[in-house]
Structure 1
Amino acid sequence: MDSTNTPALETERLILRRFTEKDLDALFHIYSDEEVNTYLPWFPLASVEEAGVLFKEKYLEVYRQPHGYHYAICLKNGQAPVGYIHAGTDGSHDLGYGLLKEFWHRSLVTEAARAVVGQLKKDGVPFITATHDIRNPRSGGVMKQLGMHYQYSYEEQWQPKDIPVIFRLYQLNLDGQENRVYMEYWNQSSIRFKEAGV
């Protein structure tokens, strides 16, 4: 399988690379932590076997696409991934991330995200979006540090947890079209509004 569709990226402190089957223990560690996954739609993984299924369904499928932006976040002084960062290849170009809590508050996700955004811009992706649960404002802080701008809030019945969640949508246009706003979530939701002072 050609790895050029997910080129490795390097920052001051990090290597961003594809997940491999050798990373199943690390994937399990990241995706099984209840606190890390509190504001994510899926339930924490219960076994390494479940991590194997996740790897095949979530990562290998993306790596087969012409461009796949699903990265393992690895410290330069360590081999095992400590988190992940994804940029969707669908119409939303949604940015998502997760990091083991012992590595929180070091700006590692922001550093990783800047590298991914640079690659997306290089590849001609016109914009990115990102959403966060309003109960998780720290995630919104990462979005602001990337230069993303708040656009609107909306409610979604999140699956598979099947709970209603209010999200804030942020967007960064990479091609100079500053007035573009991704409206798909707004159009799909019956509860939608713009918050002042976000």
Structure 2
Amino acid sequence: RMNTPTLETDRLILRRFSEEDINALFLILKNEEVNTFLPWYPVKSIDETRKFYKERYADKYQQPQAYAYAICLKSDNFPIGYIKVDMEEHHDFGYGLRKEFWHQGIVSEAGKAVVAQVKRDGLPYITATHDRNNPRSGNVMRNVGMKYQYSFEEQWQPKNIVVIFRMYQLNLDGQEDRIYKKYWDTSAVHFVEPNL
């Protein structure tokens, strides 16, 4: 199987980031509001962006299997966001999008394509977490078929703040009752929120 195979949807091309995308990546990563709920600080420079690109993309593309995509509009193939599924045990599904493109269903459209691909490739499940103060992110998770499982508290790094996360999961292999419990087990504060 190919690492990060290119995907197309009605409006989007999902492809690998390349060296040529550093300026586009900088636009995505430098925005304060976009980065409020992400586990890093906004980047301040092209140099910082290059480092981010190397660690999060170039190095991943050396692995035998990875899903680390640039979200591009078909009209110009210019990255306006990113979407990924990690190959670690949690198979974490994550995404970010430039603010100008919010509220157009872009991440849900990209997410459905990525989920279909990892399912084809035999991933047994994916998980995702969002800050309880960022419920819109949960909408994306639900839109791609994920279900809420539980909430847990974490002393979140590198920002070193206490965050309550909601954990969503989608089982792709028919084992509907599997729940990824690692966050539950490692957090002293965990609970199931009713009505979610």
- 2:74: which partner in 1? 76
Distance 2:126 2:73 in 1: 25
- 1:38-187 matched pairs, under 5 angstroms: 38-187=36-185
Q: 2:187 aligns with which of 183, 186, 189?
A: 189
How far off its partner does 1:80 sit? 1.6
How far off its partner does 1:173 sit? 0.3
Matched, 1:35 2:18: no
How far off its partner does 1:74 sit? 0.2
How far off its partner does 1:162 sit? 1.0
Per-residue CA deviation, residues 80-137 of structure 1 (Å, 9 max, x unaligned), is 2000001010001110000001100000000000000011001100000011000000
How far off its partner does 1:157 sit? 1.3
Contact 2:24 2:79 in 1 (8 A): yes
1:55 partner amino acid = Y
Matched, 1:15 2:51: no
Per-residue CA deviation, residues 36-62 of structure 1 (Å, 9 max, x unaligned), is 001111000000110000011111121
How far off its partner does 1:4 sit? 2.5
Structure 2 unaligned spans of 5+: none
Q: Which moves more between the two structures, 129-138 or 157-166? A: 157-166
1:94 partner amino acid = D
Distance 1:146 1:53 in 2: 31
TM-score using structure 2 length: 0.98
Contact 2:132 2:165 in 1 (8 A): yes
Distance 2:102 2:171 in 1: 27
Contact 2:13 2:77 in 1 (8 A): no
Distance 1:166 1:129 in 2: 16
1:29 partner amino acid = L
Moved over 4 A (4+): none
How far off its partner does 1:79 sit? 2.6
| SS of the residue 2:109 aligns to | helix
| SS of the residue 2:32 aligns to | coil
| SS of the residue 2:33 aligns to | coil
Identity, % of aligned pairs? 59
| SS of the residue 1:4 aligns to | coil
How far off its partner does 1:30 sit? 0.3
CA RMSD of aligned residues (A): 0.9
Distance 2:185 2:84 in 1: 24
